[in-house]
Structure 1
Amino acid sequence: MALYAPLGSFAVDRGPAAYAPALCQAIGASLTGLLFNIEANATPSADGLSLSAQEQQARDRDQANAANAAQLEQRCSALSVPARTVTAIDHSQGLINYIADHARLHDVLITGSRRSGPLSDRIMAENLLFETGRPLLVVPEAHDGQFAARRIVAAWDNSRNAARALGDALALLPQIEDVVLLTVGDEKAIRSTLDQADLVAGIARRGIAASVERRFLNGRKIGEALQDTAIELDADLLVMGGCGHSRLRDFLLGGATISVLDNPRLPVLLSH
């Protein structure tokens, strides 16, 4: 597993930095922490700071980032999770490509949802979803960090992306006991030669309970409807494909994906 947790959003007792070690412990995986001081090469500000003061701020940020790496390693050690941290950035190919290169060597990339700053977790998540070829697990900043995956809700529209996301979740998380396939009734029509009984039977052959739920938007964004239902059904995880609509802004990223990334309220596994 890989964790992306930059200096500005790292907290070892909550959110993705707490969730990632717990997930690794549960499934017997190791963790690579990508902990970067992404402000290290920020351009000088107009607030009147001298060059020496700016250099001192950069050193302070580097020290804080190193302390974060030590905290993550200590937490992993306490959970008997093999771990390593990467704190140096190679800017030659760009930050996103550098993170993506690391993520491609791991089963999943775990990140947060903080929206502040030009390189916010939210912006990075949107880009990394399409660059890594690996599922992205977004954990809300305020999440208590406890991992569970007994029940998952999978957004289902019979698309390649939805199938990929569900398959990734089932392959990664042996703790899954119950899958709810969730369709939103007033969204796009679902084309399939299979009925609900076939869908349920296909998952049940894995020894996993399954059911199909249908909901309507009722004035909500689709991302809100998906998360509302997942929380209503007491799901530990929302699983969905990162899919596209034809709108200009959404030429790669679908409306459901955008609204979930904008405000994740439970851990969300996305695949593209």
Structure 2
Amino acid sequence: MTITTITTQIEPADPEALDAALELPFALAETHAAQLTVLVFPVETALAEASTPGWELAEREEASVARVRAAAQRRGIRCEVRARSSFAYGAGEVMADHLRVSDLGLLALQGAAGAGQRMMVGAAVFDSGRPVLLIPARAPLAVPPARVVVAWDATPAAVRAVHGALPFIRDAAETLVVTVTDDKDLRSGQSGIELVHLLARHGARASFAAVPRAGRSVLQALAAKAGEVEGAMIVMGAVRHAPIHNIVFGSATSDLLDARPRVPVLLAA
């Protein structure tokens, strides 16, 4: 896995906020010599339209697009910038469409997730076929991350997440593969230790840890271990269940979308 193209979405904003939002996408594009696609439009569209006249919103988007282009040119980054020209499709659909022809999605999580942000994340993760890196507002990603924590349960989604995270895993100082021991049984060929061997063949410095669930949700157990080892990124598969399944059994993925992660999380479905 090589990152050649990154797609991100940013909110139209004042110059200072826009420059801050661009710092990580630019850093990742520079590190991987990647093409960057920046989608500039508000996610919470209804709220934006209710609080700002349409002409003012359009002017803000136009100014933001121009500033992104100028900033990318100054940094020497290959960058395609697009405003939202049509509302025939939802913001999530627009993001998923661009992600299908990218290698990595990058989304910043701002404050409490509204309906627009939840739909954006859901579409990006489940409808694009690509790994998506979610960045909490107060936990920017170091490039490269010092320590990656891989949540491993041998599902196809976890396999895709690990593959999508390989560029980060190879560059990290350390990678810890974590299996929640009393969540599900794994056959010997599926074990986290076997995954450690695979990652080592990719040049990673990897080790394995088994973590008991101990009455916690899977996500709580993973987050606790990540905090214990000062993990800078969590990598995990995302599984979308029917709503009744979530009510009865719960889901690490739905828990993640409901909670505000404390570190960046790379998801793949």
- TM-score tier by shorter-chain length is 0.7 to 0.9
8 Å CA contact 1:7–1:65 kept in 2: the answer is yes
Residue by residue, what CA displacement relative to the aligned partner does 1:37-91 show, whole Å, maximum 9, x if unpaired? 456677986xxxxxxxx8x722222222333334433443444322121113333
Corresponding residue number in structure 1 for 2:268: 271
Change (3 A) 1:82 1:247: same
How far apart are residue 131 of structure 1 and its match?
Answer: 0.9
Corresponding residue number in structure 2 for 1:28: 33
Task: Single out whichever of 122-131 and 218-227 deviates more from structure 2.
Answer: 218-227
Using the size of structure 2 for normalisation, the TM-score is 0.82
- Verify: 1:165 aligned to 2:161, yes or no: yes
8 Å CA contact 1:153–1:235 kept in 2: the answer is yes
Task: Single out whichever of 198-207 and 172-181 deviates more from structure 2.
Answer: 172-181
How far apart are residue 217 of structure 1 and its match?
Answer: 3.4
Q: Give the alignment of 1:181-260 within 5 angstroms.
A: 181-193=177-189, 197-244=193-240, 248=244, 250=246, 255-260=251-256
- Verify: 1:131 aligned to 2:136, yes or no: no
Task: Output the amino acid matched with 2:254.
Answer: I
Corresponding residue number in structure 1 for 2:115: 118
**Secondary structure in 1 matching 2:165:** helix
Task: Give, in whole Å, the separation in 2 of the partners of 1:239 and 1:77.
Answer: 32
How far apart are residue 244 of structure 1 and its match?
Answer: 4.3
How far apart are residue 240 of structure 1 and its match?
Answer: 0.5
How far apart are residue 11 of structure 1 and its match?
Answer: 3.5
Task: Single out whichever of 65-74 and 85-94 deviates more from structure 2.
Answer: 65-74
Task: Give, in whole Å, the separation in 2 of the partners of 1:43 and 1:155.
Answer: 36
8 Å CA contact 2:7–2:99 kept in 1: the answer is yes
Higher helix share: 2
How far apart are residue 154 of structure 1 and its match?
Answer: 0.7
8 Å CA contact 2:10–2:40 kept in 1: the answer is yes
Task: Single out whichever of 94-103 and 148-157 deviates more from structure 2.
Answer: 94-103
Task: Output the amino acid matched with 1:235.
Answer: G
Residue by residue, what CA displacement relative to the aligned partner does 1:97-118 show, whole Å, maximum 9, x if unpaired? 2222111111111112233543
Corresponding residue number in structure 2 for 1:12: 18
Residue by residue, what CA displacement relative to the aligned partner does 1:4-56 show, whole Å, maximum 9, x if unpaired? 22348994354x643211111111112111111456677986xxxxxxxx8x7
How far apart are residue 193 of structure 1 and its match?
Answer: 3.1
Using the size of structure 1 for normalisation, the TM-score is 0.81
Task: Single out whichever of 200-209 and 104-113 deviates more from structure 2.
Answer: 200-209
Aligned residue-pair number:
260
Task: Give, in whole Å, the separation in 1 of the partners of 2:231 and 2:215.
Answer: 23
**Secondary structure in 2 matching 1:203:** helix
1:103 aligns with one of 81, 99, 103: 99
Residue by residue, what CA displacement relative to the aligned partner does 1:96-149 show, whole Å, maximum 9, x if unpaired? 322221111111111122335431x23310232111111111001223464323
Corresponding residue number in structure 2 for 1:48: none
Task: Output the amino acid matched with 2:87.
Answer: H
8 Å CA contact 1:37–1:87 kept in 2: the answer is no
Task: Output the amino acid matched with 1:12.
Answer: L
Change (3 A) 1:143 1:68: farther
RMSD: 3.2
Task: Give, in whole Å, the separation in 1 of the partners of 2:85 and 2:157.
Answer: 31
Change (3 A) 1:246 1:198: same
Gaps of 5+ in 1: 46-53
Q: Which has the larger radius of gyration?
A: 1
Change (3 A) 1:177 1:85: same
Task: Single out whichever of 102-111 and 35-44 deviates more from structure 2.
Answer: 35-44
How far apart are residue 196 of structure 1 and its match?
Answer: 5.2
8 Å CA contact 1:3–1:17 kept in 2: the answer is no
8 Å CA contact 1:91–1:98 kept in 2: the answer is no
8 Å CA contact 1:151–1:177 kept in 2: the answer is yes
